[in-house]
Each structure stands twice: as structure tokens, then as C-alpha cells.
């Protein structure tokens, strides 16, 4: 009895019940099984490549396995599911496979005439596929330029028209402000939205799910939040769209996200057990960031330990207290926090606006230069200068963001009493989220090291040495002057 294998390709069946039914892998396989049964054949191996486009050029792992195993007959829903190009057809021929399609088509190489017809049909299908992709690209570009929202699901916080969904919009705007100021994490945002019953927008079987820190982070990267949408690297204005965020807040969040991706804070952390000083305190012997661990079994004394065997380890709690108290001493020197935050915010907005203008001007110049046929060396030099300028602007944006984090941080309504620093202030400090405390520490401290002590000696804050950031240096100088004035009084 003849045995026939099945090959299927694609992903979701969005056309079920229409003439295009069979777009999903499962639907294709079911249709192929019915075809095989109608022919009186035996079902063999099933090969299925999921979510792989015909025009992407991506490798099809199951297609390659099919060619290696070379079943004599393979059934597919339609020819374009099996063969995407003339090269695919020739490889199928080389494997000795005959293709049968549920619509009656065949990849038949049994004679010169049938081979010719198969090749012609493949060429026509391939050309039509490319034309269809080109038409779709042009239609998408036309919609983008016209300012039409192209998403298949309404965005969280808004209708597809751009109007706000009140409860969701308020949640987005509140979270964005806190995230931009460094006072709320993406993880905490996800917790709050889920607790409020604010799930992701749903359509059909898609969406309607709880938020995670990752989906919240991705959500806040979407330009539609400021009334724009991206297509192939270019931003287009959305027509009649009511932005949820102003551009300054949006850019602050992008800087925060990019800082975490590129490690601009310079802190190496252990994702599995990140404590207050993980990666911030460094081994005095080799300079590596120290990780948190236990001296022995679970519940024993917690330490910061260098990853290098037999290098330094320091008892965690007294070190964290000493560093936290000194950080509070410095943060207390940041005068006029409200006014400073407003000034910093204005400077940040102006710099971001300048950056947007510079990017737009550069892109326009590059397009004109390409049309004019300027040499690649000229274009390369221009791009290099532009990249350098963007890097300098990004550094300044990061610095202003750090300054804002300190400006908005207030542990209590009253200034901290430097004469009586005690656990009262540490208790308030610990009530702040771990992520914000770590951000504030790396805003003022560039690195921290601890001198080695002799065997059996107790920890002393005097053995802790700090290297300050630019902002930290200014605050440390003010703190030192205050302490000198206090002790000389």
C-alpha cells in the first residue's frame, strides 16, 4: 500500500470558515489527512514548520528533515506551502519526492512534460508571492504615511481610533510618571495592573492575559504612546491620535530601558540573587564585582564574596548599613530638590528635543547625499561624526536622569539630622524598593571597596572606601564641609 507523508507550514489560522481555510498548520494537516484517506493511502511521517514566512528566506528545519528522509510521496495543502521557489522545487526533485496537493496540484517529475509544467507553475507561484509581498509593503507604507493605526488589536489604554480607555489610560499615565522618575519598576507595574484587573487587550484567542515585567517594558517602548508609529525604521504621525504620554516622559523611559540593556550603570549583577550591593562593592584584590552568598548552610551569615576562589569576603549586613548611611548623608546634601528637579527636567526635555532635531536633520542629509551620489567615504565620515554626537548626547541624558533620581528622592519631609544618624533613617531607606536604592547608590558611588581586616577583627565603617561619580563628588564635598563646620563648632 502507498504511504504518504505530510508537509505543513505557517502559524495561526485566522481564516477558518472562509475560502482560505487551511492557513494554520493544524488545519493543513487535517486537510492532508482527509486527502490521504480519500486516496486509500497509509499515513506516514508528518513534517510541520511553524511561523515561517514564505518570503523571509528563513531555514525550514522540518523541510530539511523531509529532504534528508526523502519519502516518495508528500502531501501538502497547496503548492506554496511545500515549495516557495524554483530552488525548493529542484531540491524536492533531487530527493526523489513527488508532491500532491489537496487542491489537485502536483509536483511531478515523472516525464519531461510533467517536469516542465511543474517548473512553470512553481515560477508563476513564486513570482505571484513576491508581487503580493511587494503590494502588501506598499499598502502598509501608504497607511503609515496616512497616519492610520495598523495594529490588529487595540493598544492598551486606547481604542483603535486613538481615543483613551479611561481606566487603562489613567493606569498608564500614572505608571509612566513613576517609572520615568525611577520610583516604580516594570515588575511592580505588572503587579498593580493585574491586581486591578487590567489585562492585555483581547481579540479572538489573542490577548486578555496578565502582564509580566517583560510585557510592560515592551509596551512602554511603543511610539504610539506619543502618537507615532514606526515602519521600517521611520516614525510617522498617527492621524487624530490622542497621545497618552508627552515626549519627555517617553524619552526618559527609553533612556532607562536602554541603560539596563547596555549596562551603562556599570554594575554587574547576579540575576539569581541580587542584593543591595551586588556588583557595586568590588573585591579589593582583583576589582571584580562581589556577589551575595551564605557562609555555610541556609540561614547562616550572609556575605558579599568575590567570584574568584579564596579572594575577599565581607559580612553583608554591617557593610550595607554603613554604605546606606553614607549614601543618605550625601543625598541629604542635594539641596532644593523640587526646584532642582524642575530645572533638570527642563534641561532634559531641551536636550531630547535637540537630539530629535539632529537625528531628523542627519537622516535628511544622508538621503539627499545618497541621491546625489556622494562617495561612500564621505557618507561614512558623516555617519561617524553623527554617531559620536549621539553618544555624547546619550551620556548627558543619562547624567541628567541620574540627577533627577536624586532630586525627586525624599526619605522624609524633614532634613536628615547629620548629628544623630541612626536606624530611624535606615528603616525609612529600607522601605524604598531595592531597585530604586540600587539606582541611587550607583548615582553617587562609582565603586566601593573594603580593606581586608585581620583574622577575628570586627567590621568597621572606616575600612570602607568610596569612589564617587561626578554628582557624588559634589555631594561628598558639601558633606565634608558640613562635617568640618560641625566638629569645629
Q: Which of 41-50, 62-71, 103-112, 348-357 is the least confident region? A: 348-357
Q: Determine the pLDDT at residue 270.
A: 36
Reference 48, options 72, 67, 26, 16; nearest CA is 26
Number of Cβ atoms within 10 Å of the Cβ of 29 = 19
Beta strand pairing status for 281-282 and 3-10?
unpaired
CATH number, residue 174: 3.90.1750.20
| For residue 472, pLDDT beyond 50 | yes
Q: What is the mean pLDDT of residues 97-110?
A: 90
pLDDT in tens, 239-259: 999 999 998 888 888 877 776
Q: What does the alpha-carbon distance between residue 275 and residue 110 come to, in Å, rounded to a whole number?
A: 69
Same domain, 45 and 118: yes
Report angle CA 438, 445, 283 to the nearest 5 degrees: 90
Say if CB 43 and CB 67 are below 8 A apart: no
The answer to the question of residue 160 being in a domain is: no
| For residue 19, pLDDT beyond 60 | no
Higher-confidence position of 329 and 334: 329
CATH number, residue 45: 3.40.50.1390
What band does 296 get if pLDDT is binned at 50, 70 and 90? low
The residues, any chain, with a CB within 8 Å of residue 478's CB and separated by 6 or more, are 333
Same domain, 244 and 293: no
Say if CB 52 and CB 58 are below 8 A apart: yes
Q: What does the alpha-carbon distance between residue 281 and residue 466 come to, in Å, rounded to a whole number?
A: 9
Q: Determine the pLDDT at residue 419.
A: 44
Same domain, 447 and 472: yes
Q: Determine the pLDDT at residue 485.
A: 76
What band does 75 get if pLDDT is binned at 50, 70 and 90? very high
Same domain, 324 and 401: no
Q: What does the alpha-carbon distance between residue 120 and residue 76 come to, in Å, rounded to a whole number?
A: 18
The answer to the question of residue 136 being in a domain is: yes
Q: Considering just the CA atoms, what is the radius of gyration of the chain in Å?
A: 31
Look at residues 262, 289, 317 and tell me which one is the last residue of a structural domain: 262
Q: What does the alpha-carbon distance between residue 69 and residue 73 come to, in Å, rounded to a whole number?
A: 11
Same domain, 88 and 209: no
The residues, any chain, with a CB within 8 Å of residue 283's CB and separated by 6 or more, are 289, 290, 306, 308, 311, 312, 449
Look at residues 408, 424, 455 and tell me which one is the last residue of a structural domain: 408
| For residue 219, pLDDT beyond 80 | yes
Q: What is the mean pLDDT of residues 342-355?
A: 76
Same domain, 130 and 9: yes
The answer to the question of residue 274 being in a domain is: no
Same domain, 120 and 212: no
Q: What does the alpha-carbon distance between residue 162 and residue 295 come to, in Å, rounded to a whole number?
A: 56
Say if CB 35 and CB 102 are below 8 A apart: yes
Same domain, 247 and 288: no
Q: Determine the pLDDT at residue 412.
A: 45
Per the structure, the complete domain to which residue 28 belongs is given by: 3-144
The answer to the question of residue 149 being in a domain is: no
The answer to the question of residue 268 being in a domain is: no
Same domain, 122 and 137: yes
Same domain, 430 and 307: yes
Q: Determine the pLDDT at residue 340.
A: 63
Q: Hey, what's the cell of 319?
A: 557593610
The answer to the question of residue 242 being in a domain is: yes
Q: Which of 125-134, 150-159, 269-278, 371-380 is the least confident region? A: 269-278
Q: What does the alpha-carbon distance between residue 302 and residue 293 come to, in Å, rounded to a whole number?
A: 6
pLDDT in tens, 181-192: 777 888 889 888
Per the structure, the count of domains in the chain is 4
Same domain, 37 and 176: no
| For residue 195, pLDDT beyond 60 | yes
pLDDT in tens, 412-457: 444 444 444 455 556 667 767 777 788 788 888 888 999 987 766 7
| For residue 5, pLDDT beyond 90 | yes
Say if CB 80 and CB 54 are below 8 A apart: yes
Reference 49, options 58, 59, 62; nearest CA is 62
Reference 105, options 120, 90, 87; nearest CA is 120
Q: Quick one: what percent of the chain has pLDDT higher than 90?
A: 23
Q: Determine the pLDDT at residue 204.
A: 59
Q: Which of 116-120, 225-229, 455-459, 472-476 is the least confident region? A: 455-459
| For residue 383, pLDDT beyond 90 | no
How far is CA 260 from its chain centroid? 10
Q: Which of 8-12, 291-295, 337-341 is the least confident region? A: 337-341
The answer to the question of residue 272 being in a domain is: no
| For residue 38, pLDDT beyond 90 | yes
The answer to the question of residue 347 being in a domain is: yes
Look at residues 408, 429, 455 and tell me which one is the last residue of a structural domain: 408
Higher-confidence position of 103 and 349: 103
Same domain, 307 and 397: no
Amino acid at each position: 500500500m502507498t504511504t504518504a507523508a505530510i508537509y505543513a507550514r505557517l502559524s495561526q489560522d485566522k481564516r477558518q470558515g472562509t475560502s482560505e481555510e487551511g492557513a494554520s498548520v493544524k488545519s493543513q494537516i487535517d486537510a492532508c489527512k482527509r486527502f490521504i484517506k480519500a486516496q486509500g493511502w497509509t499515513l506516514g511521517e508528518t513534517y510541520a514548520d511553524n511561523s515561517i514566512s514564505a518570503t523571509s528566506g528563513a531555514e525550514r528545519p522540518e523541510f530539511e528533515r523531509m529532504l534528508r528522509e526523502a519519502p516518495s510521496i508528500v502531501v501538502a495543502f497547496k503548492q506554496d506551502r511545500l515549495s516557495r521557489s524554483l530552488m525548493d522545487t529542484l531540491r524536492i526533485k533531487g530527493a526523489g519526492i513527488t508532491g500532491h496537493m489537496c487542491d489537485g496540484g502536483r509536483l511531478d517529475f515523472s516525464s519531461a512534460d510533467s517536469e516542465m509544467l511543474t517548473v512553470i507553475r512553481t515560477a508563476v507561484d513564486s513570482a505571484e508571492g513576491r508581487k503580493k509581498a511587494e503590494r502588501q509593503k506598499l499598502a502598509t507604507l501608504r497607511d503609515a504615511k496616512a497616519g492610520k493605526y495598523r495594529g490588529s488589536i487595540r493598544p492598551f489604554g486606547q481604542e483603535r481610533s486613538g481615543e483613551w480607555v479611561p481606566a487603562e489610560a489613567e493606569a498608564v499615565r500614572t505608571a509612566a510618571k513613576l517609572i520615568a522618575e525611577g520610583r516604580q519598576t516594570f515588575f511592580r507595574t505588572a503587579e498593580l495592573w493585574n491586581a486591578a484587573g487590567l489585562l492585555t487587550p483581547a481579540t479572538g484567542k489573542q490577548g486578555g492575559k496578565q502582564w509580566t515585567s517583560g510585557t510592560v517594558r515592551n509596551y512602554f517602548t511603543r511610539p504610539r504612546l506619543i502618537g507615532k508609529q514606526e515602519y521600517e525604521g521611520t516614525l510617522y504621525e498617527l492621524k487624530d491620535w490622542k497621545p497618552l504620554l508627552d515626549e519627555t516622559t517617553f524619552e526618559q523611559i527609553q533612556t532607562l530601558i536602554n541603560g539596563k540593556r547596555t549596562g551603562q550603570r556599570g554594575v554587574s549583577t547576579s540575576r539569581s540573587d541580587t542584593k543591595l550591593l551586588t556588583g557595586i562593592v568590588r573585591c579589593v584584590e582583583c576589582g571584580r564585582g562581589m556577589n551575595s552568598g551564605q557562609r555555610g548552610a541556609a540561614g547562616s551569615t550572609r556575605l558579599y564574596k568575590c567570584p574568584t576562589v579564596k579572594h575577599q569576603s565581607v559580612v553583608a549586613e554591617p557593610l550595607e548599613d554603613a554604605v546606606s548611611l553614607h549614601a543618605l548623608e550625601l543625598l541629604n546634601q542635594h539641596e532644593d530638590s523640587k526646584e532642582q528637579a524642575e530645572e533638570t527636567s527642563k534641561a532634559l526635555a531641551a536636550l531630547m528635543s535637540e537630539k530629535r532635531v539632529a537625528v531628523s536633520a542627519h537622516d535628511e542629509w544622508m538621503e539627499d547625499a545618497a541621491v546625489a551620489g556622494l562617495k561612500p567615504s564621505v557618507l561614512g565620515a558623516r555617519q561617524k561624526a553623527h554617531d559620536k554626537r549621539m553618544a555624547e548626547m546619550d551620556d548627558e541624558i543619562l547624567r541628567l536622569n541620574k540627577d533627577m533620581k536624586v532630586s525627586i528622592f525624599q526619605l522624609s519631609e524633614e532634613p536628615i539630622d547629620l548629628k544623630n544618624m541612626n536606624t530611624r533613617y535606615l528603616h525609612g531607606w529600607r522601605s524604598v524598593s531595592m531597585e530604586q536604592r540600587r539606582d541611587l547608590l550607583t548615582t553617587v558611588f562609582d565603586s566601593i571597596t573594603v580593606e581586608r581586616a585581620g583574622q577575628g577583627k570586627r567590621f568597621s565603617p572606616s575600612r570602607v572606601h568610596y569612589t564617587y561619580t561626578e554628582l557624588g563628588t559634589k555631594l561628598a564635598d558639601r558633606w565634608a564641609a558640613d562635617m568640618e563646620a560641625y566638629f569645629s563648632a
